[in-house]
């Protein structure tokens, strides 16, 4: 790719970053459509865990395959990396996506997408307050405040007088918990990236985390039926490619550009997610409501503000 494309060209960075954000934004509607095609009920938590595990085992295998072919040698982890891979597999895959997949089964695609935008804010706050590895600036605080205000607005309910705030623990709560796990995993990646190849860590933690979820799902009675349509298998492959392709391309961009010049585009992910949820899940009414649009603007604006701070200061 870098022989024919100037990966430091801002137009190329924008194009490839948009591809990554589109893929990540498409994950939410893909998961919910997958539940339908594989006949998984919202209440069948064990089968949801099994479904998520299959996706991430596939994603990890694809990352390892792509990088092995690209480097012309097998992407083998060092022995010293195994504890880090296990830690990441729990925080970044098993725990995060257990909460995320279960949460999505109990909330809408639009709502899940917007709430998932809080992961970056939580990572900043944890890094600064608990781990002392980052400095909070007024702009970062303002960006985080805007993002969390967007989540509050998204969950305001004007439908009945007795339910001013609409929040389900199994739905919105679990999606929010998943973002807390995501924030922790980001800090772990930052700590361990100086010792080990980030792509290697990612591929193997996806595979291990997916395998752990499959075992847990099977042992607790999870079962998955053959999809109701042949497109179900293609969807499962696509879901694996979301993580494998997006992470690989994002990693290449980070290798050739300052982190701030790439991460500033992450505000596009919730925008794509809401748009795709409206198109493929038929959630137009919610996506175009004033409450959703206000929340989306605040969350996306907060993400932009936080990353713009990194670039300029």
DSSP 280-307: HH--HHHHTSHHHHHHHHHHHHHHHHHH
How far, in Å, are 187, 211, 288 from residue 129 at the CA level? 12, 33, 36
Tens of pLDDT, residue by residue over 210-247, are: 999 999 999 999 998 888 788 899 999 999 999 888 87
Measured between alpha carbons, how far is residue 58 from residues 22, 82, 167, 184, 252 in Å? 20, 20, 33, 23, 21
Q: Alpha helices of 196-267 — where are they, by DSSP H?
A: 198-219, 231-256, 259-263
Cα-Cα-Cα-Cα dihedral sign, residues 243, 231, 276, 91: negative
The pLDDT score that the predictor gives to residue 162 is 46
Q: Residue 166: what pLDDT?
A: 67
Q: Is 156 helix (H, G, I), strand (E, B) or coil?
A: strand
Q: What is the pLDDT of residues 113-131, one digit of tens each?
A: 888 877 777 877 777 776 6
- According to the model, what pLDDT value does residue 171 have? 86
pTM: 0.80
- Give the torsion through C-alpha atoms of 58, 59, 63, 66, to 10 deg: 60
Q: Average pLDDT for consecutive 10-residue bins of the chain (313 residues)?
A: 68 87 91 92 91 93 88 88 89 86 88 82 76 73 84 65 62 88 78 80 90 93 86 92 82 69 76 90 87 86 73 46
Rg (CA), the chain: 19
What backbone phi and psi angles, to 5 degrees, belong to 74? -65, 135
User: Is there a contact between 92 and 208 (Cβ–Cβ < 8 Å)?
Assistant: no
């Amino acid at each position: 790719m870098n022989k024919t494309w100037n990966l430091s060209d801002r137009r190329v960075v924008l194009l490839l970053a948009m591809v990554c954000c589109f893929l990540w934004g498409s994950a939410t509607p893909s998961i919910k459509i997958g539940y339908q095609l594989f006949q998984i009920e919202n209440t069948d938590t064990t089968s949801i865990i099994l479904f998520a595990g299959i996706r991430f085992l596939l994603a990890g295998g694809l990352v390892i395959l792509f990088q092995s072919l690209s480097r012309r040698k097998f992407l083998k982890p060092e022995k010293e990396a195994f504890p880090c891979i296990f830690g990441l597999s729990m925080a970044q895959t098993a725990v995060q996506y257990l909460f995320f997949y279960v949460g999505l089964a109990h909330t809408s695609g639009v709502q899940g997408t917007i709430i998932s935008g809080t992961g970056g804010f939580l990572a900043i706050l944890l890094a600064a307050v608990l781990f002392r590895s980052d400095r909070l600036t007024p702009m970062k605080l303002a960006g985080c405040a805007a993002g969390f205000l967007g989540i509050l607005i998204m969950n305001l309910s004007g439908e009945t007088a007795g339910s001013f705030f609409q929040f389900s623990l199994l739905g919105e709560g679990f999606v929010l918990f998943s973002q807390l796990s995501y924030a922790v995993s980001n800090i772990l990646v930052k700590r361990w990236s100086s010792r080990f190849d980030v792509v290697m860590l990612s591929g193997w933690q996806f595979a291990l985390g997916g395998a752990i979820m499959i075992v847990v799902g099977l042992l607790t009675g999870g079962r998955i039926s053959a999809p109701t349509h042949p497109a179900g298998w293609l969807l499962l492959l696509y879901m694996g490619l979301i993580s494998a392709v997006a992470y690989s391309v994002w990693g290449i961009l980070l290798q050739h550009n300052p982190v701030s010049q790439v991460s500033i585009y992450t505000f596009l992910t919730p925008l794509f997610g809401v748009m795709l949820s409206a198109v493929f899940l038929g959630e137009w009414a919610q996506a175009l409501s004033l409450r959703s649009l206000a929340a989306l603007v605040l969350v996306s604006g907060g993400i932009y503000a936080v990353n713009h701070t990194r670039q300029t200061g």
